[in-house]
Structure 1
Amino acid sequence: MISIRLSRPDEGARVVEIWRRAVDATHDFLSPEDRQAIDELVCDFLPKATLWLAVDAHGYPLAFMLIDDGHMEALFVDPAFRGEGIGASLVRHGLSIHPAMTTDVNEQNGQAIGFYEKMGFKRTGRSSVDAQGRPYPIIHLAMRRS
């Protein structure tokens, strides 16, 4: 049984650990140099961010989501807990707050694109580079309710 709650300042190290494990499992397209540069940015930013956490019965974080003004900036699940519906639970929670939520996903991360489309997101566009101008195309997605 998982629950969803806001992060606490003392959980920064665990959040970074989740991010690193998830990226290492799903972002094999990143160059080592870009992976390191992004890691440095994440280590500085994530521990300070207000995140939605999916936690187990003991309060141990298994996944996190960052939403900024209706845009899901991040969704990462510890690979040890993938396939258990944790990411979907976080997305449903986000949609309960922001029904028209949007997100972006790396084009090379086909599993993530499939996940979001299964959740009901529709493609709304594509950028040839990521937000930092790196050569990783981005697919823009939005929840479209009928």
Structure 2
Amino acid sequence: MTVAIRAGRLDDNPELLDIWLRAVRATHHFLTEDDIQVFVPLLRDHYLAMAELWVAAGAGDAPVGFMGLAEAKVEMLFVDPDRHGLGTGRALLAHAAALKGALTLDVNEQNPGAVAFYRRCGFRETGRSPVDGMGMAFPLIHMAAEA
């Protein structure tokens, strides 16, 4: 399956929120449903609007994954769980590296699948924080990759 990477559009947001919810439920086992519901309005009302958004589009231009950037930092990368392992995340990262050069990101330490994915994509640990960006007790691993 091939994907095209394109700029996100406002009308993508409902589908991106759905991808985010399904991906988080499939991979972020450390979060409770209450935790997830705290993040829904933040993603919907703020994060999707604030980030430089890139969409991996499949058949019929439908989103199958997305990435949010702030300069050369990957702020979020989520792929439809049905597409995990098919290269969608790698395609998004390659697009970001082509645009921005050397990338950085933070990944939840409690999400070992994501940590392993980023390591396979050439990212290396540069530090750790005991809390996430909201001060919640979800440790982050800071990572960087060369261009």
Q: Which TM bucket (shorter chain)?
A: over 0.9
One-letter amino acid of the counterpart of residue 116, structure 2: G
User: When the two structures are superposed, what TM-score results if normalisation uses the length of structure 2?
Assistant: 0.93
Q: CA RMSD in A?
A: 1.3
1:141 alignment counterpart: 143
Question: Which consecutive unaligned segments of at least 5 residues does structure 2 have?
Answer: none
Tell me which stretches of 4 or more aligned residues in structure 1 moved more than 3 Å.
none
CA contact (8 A) 1:13 1:47 kept: no
Give 1:58 deviation, angstroms.
Answer: 1.3
Determine the C-alpha separation between the residues in 2 that align with 1:68 and 1:112.
19
Corresponding residue to 1:59 among 39, 58, 61: 61
User: When the two structures are superposed, what TM-score results if normalisation uses the length of structure 1?
Assistant: 0.94
Question: Which consecutive unaligned segments of at least 5 residues does structure 1 have?
Answer: none
Q: How many residue pairs get matched? A: 145
2:15 alignment counterpart: 14
Within 5 Å, which residues of 2 pair with 1:1-146? Answer: 1-49=2-50, 50-144=52-146
One-letter amino acid of the counterpart of residue 7, structure 2: L
Structure 1 pair 32–58 and aligned structure 2 pair: CA distance change class (3 A): closer
Give 1:33 deviation, angstroms.
Answer: 2.7
Structure 1 pair 48–12 and aligned structure 2 pair: CA distance change class (3 A): same
- Structure 1 residues 93-116: Cα deviation after superposition (integer angstroms, max 9, x where no partner): 111112211000000000100010
Point out the more displaced range, 43-52 or 90-99. 43-52
Structure 1 pair 73–43 and aligned structure 2 pair: CA distance change class (3 A): same
Structure 1 pair 47–66 and aligned structure 2 pair: CA distance change class (3 A): closer
- Structure 1 residues 55-82: Cα deviation after superposition (integer angstroms, max 9, x where no partner): 0131010000001011000000010111
